[in-house]
């Protein structure tokens, strides 16, 4: 992390929106379905957000044989992530409301 700033892309905002709107932990597959992002785009975003502590993840409890499927990785937004997400969404909202002809 160092002095670097987390790069907020449109896809990152989509992932954050999905996580902020959920009251429970969600799997990567759930996020992919909601955002229509491919796994090659989604999982690097999730990894970066976790590295920056905007989200947390854990493996689902249970034996894959009992579950009848592989265990899922479950994600949830942290307090830091929720605060920073709101700030990023506010920036976008402000930029959208600004008239284009007023820019120089």
What are the pLDDT digits (tens) for 75-98? 999 999 999 999 999 988 887 877
Q: Are 20 and 82 in contact (CB under 8 A)?
A: yes
For the segment 15-63, what is each residue's pLDDT rounded down to a tens digit?
999 999 998 999 999 999 999 999 999 999 999 999 999 999 999 998 9
Integer Cα distance of 67 and 63 in angstroms:
6
Integer Cα distance of 35 and 47 in angstroms:
16
What domains can you pick out in the chain, each with its CATH number?
10-90 (1.10.10.10)
Percent of the chain topping pLDDT 70: 91
pLDDT of residue 2: 57
pTM of this structure = 0.84
Those residues with Cβ within 8 angstroms of residue 34's Cβ, 6 or more apart along the chain or in another chain: 18
Chain centroid to Cα 87, Å, comes to 14
First CA to last CA distance, the chain: 33
């Amino acid at each position: 992390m160092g002095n670097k700033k987390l790069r907020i892309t449109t896809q990152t905002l989509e992932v954050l929106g999905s996580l902020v709107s959920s009251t429970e932990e969600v799997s990567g597959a759930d996020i992919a379905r909601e955002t229509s992002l491919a796994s090659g785009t989604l999982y690097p975003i999730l990894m970066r957000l976790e590295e920056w502590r905007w989200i947390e993840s854990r493996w689902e409890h249970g034996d894959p044989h009992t579950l009848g499927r592989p265990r899922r990785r479950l994600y949830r937004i942290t307090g830091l992530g929720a605060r920073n997400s709101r700030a990023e969404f506010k920036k976008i909202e402000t930029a959208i409301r600004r008239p284009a002809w007023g820019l120089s």
